[in-house]
Amino acid sequence: MPRYRFNIHSPGNHLSDGEGLVLLDDATAVERARQIVREMVAIDLREDGVVCLAQTIEIVGDGGKPLASMPFGDIIQIIHDDMDAPPRRR
- Over residues 22-72, the pLDDT tens digits come to 999 999 999 999 999 999 999 999 999 999 999 999 999 988 999 999 999
Any domain includes 83: no
* pLDDT at residue 70, rounded to an integer: 97
Question: Does 77 score more than 90 pLDDT?
Answer: no
Q: Is the dihedral of CA 32, 33, 38, 43 positive or negative?
A: positive
* pLDDT at residue 3, rounded to an integer: 96
Eight-class DSSP state of 53: T
Within 1-90, residue ranges assigned H as helices are 26-47, 72-75
Any domain includes 40: yes
Question: Which amino acid does the sequence have at 52?
Answer: C
**Burial classification of residue 25, based on how many CB atoms lie within 10 Å of its CB (0-12 exposed, 13-18 middle, 19 or more buried):** exposed
- For residue 58, the enclosing domain spans 3-73
Number of domains forming the structure of the chain: 1
pTM of this prediction? 0.85
| CA–CA gap between residue 61 and residue 77 (Å, rounded) | 27
Any domain includes 90: no
Any domain includes 19: yes
